[in-house]
Structure 1
Amino acid sequence: MSTAPADRPAPAPSWTLGDVTVHRVDEIPLPPATGAWLLPGATPDLVTAEDWLRPHFADAEGTLRLDSHSFAFTLGGLRVLVDTGIGNGKERANPAWHDLDTDYLRALTAAGFPPDSVDLVILTHLHADHVGWNTREADGEWTPTFPRARYLTSRTEREFWAGYDMEEARAQMFRDSVLPVEEAGLLDLVDIPAEGVDVVPGLRLLPTPGHTPGHIAVELTGRDRTALITGDCVHHPVQFAHPGIGACVDIDPRRSETTRRALLASLAGTDTLVLGTHFASPTAGRVVLREGGYRLSPVPADGP
């Protein structure tokens, strides 16, 4: 088996949807303790009872596996990046996210998307682990990482945080990763109706509120195949089996559960490929209906 040279990131896993190829751009695996903190309802006993979660999404002790990554693809003439991870050199309260030094941009470039080539950055929501690479430091200032791109999120999302009484850690994240993009005139706010809205043919934004009020999922279609990028409306595949398990950071837990149940019901039994923003490898799968709920049937990457 060949391996990538030590000075070059490993090739990005990818999935082909007709004429569209979706690349996973890795940042970091999240620490093992993340799952128990993030999804406190996913107890070890509950997780180990779901045999299908092993070995990819949980270990034998019931510890959940989660990652931080983005997705990049070209569709409708646009070179698109969905979510931008945690970022390098950011001051963060979470020790696992603080002052990172990762090869994310090299991985993005290796996937065929150097920063200057990106046309559109879609932000599913404005949390620290989804906006970090919006900016990078240059000459002591945070500047947009993707200077040719339009950054896009829902109007509801941005307006919610504009009126939110932020703690200092969140305010710091906005100062270093959101405001510089706004001040550069690169942020577009989109109204997302209940049925969703097309960015271009084949690229659709769907409202999936609850985790945050303006959270969106991203649906993309290439020829006759469709994929859906979850953002954080589903953090981990254990929530397929137990949609009532919510995240400790959900703004509206009840609405988050309602959204998740409706989304899973709409996907079950279809050929839609689900790409989880925090799902560990193999990251992708299809929703299968089972007695009492759902499970994710993994779909390995077909490239490189």
Structure 2
Amino acid sequence: MSPGAPVLVVSRLDDVTADVVTRELNRRRVPVVRLDPGDFPAAVTVAARLDSTGLRGSARTPTRLVGLDHVRSVYWRRPRPYAAPPKLEKREGEGQAARWCREEARYGLGGILAALPGAHYVNHPWRNRDAEYKPAQLATAAHCGFDIPPTLLTNDPREAASFVREQGPVVYKPLRNTDYRGAEGEALTVWVEEVDAADLDAGVARTMHLFQRRVASVADLRVTVVGGELFTVRIEGSPGLDWRRHYDALSYSLIDTPPRLARSVHAYMETFGLVFGAFDFGVGQDGRT
């Protein structure tokens, strides 16, 4: 791949982390093309050819044109979901047609973006997909030597209440950071929260829920892995359960990754075939993570 070949940043336009990566690539004079699959087909046009020599062709955004067989690397960072044509999305009674278009986009454009010849993926979207499922994350983490607090996955209100009484204090954790909008279109987030058995009602039966014994912690660790290198930050000062809600109150210090934790992180990354990963750990009163 030629040194002048571009990096393809697959991300939504309002992602601040992808913004930082793009700025750094620009600073290093590395060509960058940013593409959001959610803009297809309204603002992205693709023409891909396949034969015995492999895949080639192009993708065009409103501001860039990229050769599909000339991409050096792909940075995949939380793109928007695949979409149908806007007019079809808005029409009443066209649910099946819009769904069909979205699935064709997902398996067509998604398949192309996952098969760029010679490209280095951070991470490959299918490896991301495999690692997105929290039950698989927890099972793999246990296999790799992490300490896993007692956890219950259920849609049975009685099982949930029994678990809370047995293991309390217990927290509820969402299984995925799914996009959710309020009445005014504002983005809403489900945070990690402590639950009481009296708070659990028939709503538990409506979908899967994850409950986990709360572990008293004195600090948190964020471990970032890039290409086998580990960078660990100790986070202190959070007044609540979820430190992501209290950035202004936090203090940060770069530390050496505990050797036991490093071994487990490397094993986890290898199991899922990941190049990049970010892990959050609580530090118990006994110093264990």
- Normalised-by-shorter TM-score class: under 0.3
Higher helix share: 2
Structure showing greater radius of gyration is 2
Provide the TM-score with structure 2 as the length reference. Answer: 0.26
